[in-house]
């Protein structure tokens, strides 16, 4: 349960202001069809985070618990710094698909997640926790928690968020998690 809850919290906070959240906003404005967009986000995230989780789980089995804690701690501190740099999205890079909102969301969301901080966090969490599916379920739910309101409420919701404060709060959370993992590594 810990792996699931940490994964949900980490990803839902990391996703605020992320390029995939901006992508959700753009797709919502372009297609105005929330259900296919949400389904596209769900399936793209499941595929992307399953791949990242499998890689993280594999690495986690190769490393000692102390090295995993140091790696996860360092990656969380790096995420804290990365979170302070707001993402941007090039709207012209979005695919124009005749297949509709679902196909456009599935494709663009999957590609946008490659190398994204939430994918890297999924890899790190899967290395740290032995319950791979709890991590993947948690990170996927975290993505939905952050993106579904944007899809449903659109630009009116996004304009009211104090993004700077949210970025600083998320950064502090990542730094705290990083320090906790590093502290745990020292006490092993």
Maximum mean pLDDT: which of 94-98, 102-106, 143-147, 177-181: 143-147
User: Could you give the angle at which helices 2-14 and 163-186 cross, rounded to 10 degrees?
Assistant: 140
- The sign of the CA dihedral 54, 57, 62, 63 is positive
Residue 28 has pLDDT above 80, yes or no: yes
pLDDT at residue 26, rounded to an integer? 77
Structure tokens at 31: 């297609």
Question: Which residue in this structure is represented by tokens 């509709």?
Answer: 100
pLDDT band at 182 (very low <50, low <70, confident <90, very high): confident
The count of other CB atoms within 10 Å of the CB of residue 53 is 28
pLDDT digit string (tens) for 126-142?
Answer: 988 989 999 999 999 99
Structure tokens at 175: 């730094």
CA dist., res. 158 & res. 52, Å (int): 28
Q: What is the mean pLDDT of residues 81-99?
A: 56
pLDDT at residue 24, rounded to an integer? 85
Q: Regarding predicted confidence, which is higher, 78 or 90?
A: 78
pLDDT band at 98 (very low <50, low <70, confident <90, very high): very low
Q: Which SS3 state, helix, strand or coil, does residue 85 take?
A: coil
Question: Which residue in this structure is represented by tokens 């105005």?
Answer: 32
pLDDT digit string (tens) for 29-83?
Answer: 777 788 999 999 999 999 999 999 999 999 878 877 787 778 777 877 876 777 6
pLDDT at residue 45, rounded to an integer? 96
């Amino acid at each position: 349960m810990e792996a699931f809850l940490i994964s949900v919290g980490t990803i839902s906070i990391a996703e605020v202001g992320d390029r995939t959240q901006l992508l959700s906003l753009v797709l919502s404005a372009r297609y105005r069809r929330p259900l296919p967009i949400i389904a596209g986000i769900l399936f793209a995230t499941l595929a992307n985070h399953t791949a990242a989780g499998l890689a993280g789980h594999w690495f986690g089995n190769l490393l000692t618990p102390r090295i995993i804690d140091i790696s996860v701690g360092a990656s969380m501190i790096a995420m804290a710094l990365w979170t302070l740099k707001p993402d941007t999205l090039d709207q012209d890079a979005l695919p124009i698909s005749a297949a509709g909102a679902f196909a456009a969301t599935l494709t663009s969301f999957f590609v946008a997640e490659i190398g994204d901080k939430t994918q890297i966090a999924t890899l790190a969490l899967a290395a740290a926790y032995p319950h791979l599916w709890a991590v993947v379920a948690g990170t996927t739910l975290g993505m939905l928690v952050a993106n579904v309101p944007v899809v449903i409420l659109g630009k009116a919701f996004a304009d009211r968020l104090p993004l700077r404060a949210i970025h600083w709060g998320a950064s502090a959370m990542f730094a705290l998690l990083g320090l906790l993992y590093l502290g745990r590594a020292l006490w092993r």
